[in-house]
Structure 1
Amino acid sequence: MEIDKDAVGDVIKRLRRAEGQIRGVIAMLESGRDCAEVVTQLAAVSRALDRAGFKIIATGLRQCVTAEEDGREPSIDVAQLEKLFLSLA
């Protein structure tokens, strides 16, 4: 499955944002910030990574459905997409 170029740009933005958040979490730990604050930021990073993964899967699903509507063979099947989706859950 090849990822749509528009989706790639969106996923990269999300991953760069998560990268910045991770650097922030490291700085929080190094400066001795409160445990609850650190965990809150880690949860935000986790959600950002999940959204990036789901965007990739959604793109694959869209390609699969579009291919079937056009009478073409999808490059990835629904079972593979389901397995990818569940790996993020």
Structure 2
Amino acid sequence: MRVKSPMAKEDVKKRLSRIEGQVRGVAKMVDDDRDCHEIIQQLAAIRSAVQQVSLVVVRSYASQCLLEPQEGESQETIVEDLISVLSKAG
């Protein structure tokens, strides 16, 4: 499965770039001996951002694969694959 929608792809890329910046910021906070509370707060924000970008990708997957299955793919197989991927991510 690929993220085919140009809007979804751009959204995912923006979100990942923002997450990348947040991770760099936390690394700098550690280097600068910042307070653990501040670091944990930023890590929670990163975790939330990763969950949100995951939802964008899942929505794209659902709309593309469930609504437009490839030849020979049953919706049941697609749903099972999605559940498998989500259970590993959880």
Distance (whole Å) between structure 1 residues aligned to residue 74 and residue 62 of structure 2: 9
Deviations 1:20-77 (A, max 9, x none): 1011101111111110110110111111112112211111111133226xxx956970
Unaligned runs of 5+ in 1: none
Question: What's the Cα RMSD here?
Answer: 2.2
Q: Does 1:58 align with 2:59?
A: yes
Give the match's secondary structure for 1:77. Answer: helix
Structure 2 counterpart of 1:35: 36
Distance (whole Å) between structure 2 residues aligned to residue 53 and residue 82 of structure 1: 14
Distance (whole Å) between structure 2 residues aligned to residue 12 and residue 85 of structure 1: 20
| Paired residues, number | 86
Unaligned runs of 5+ in 2: none
**How much has 1:86 moved relative to structure 2?**
2.1
Query: How many percent identity over aligned positions?
Result: 34
TM-score by length of 1: 0.82
**How much has 1:16 moved relative to structure 2?**
0.3
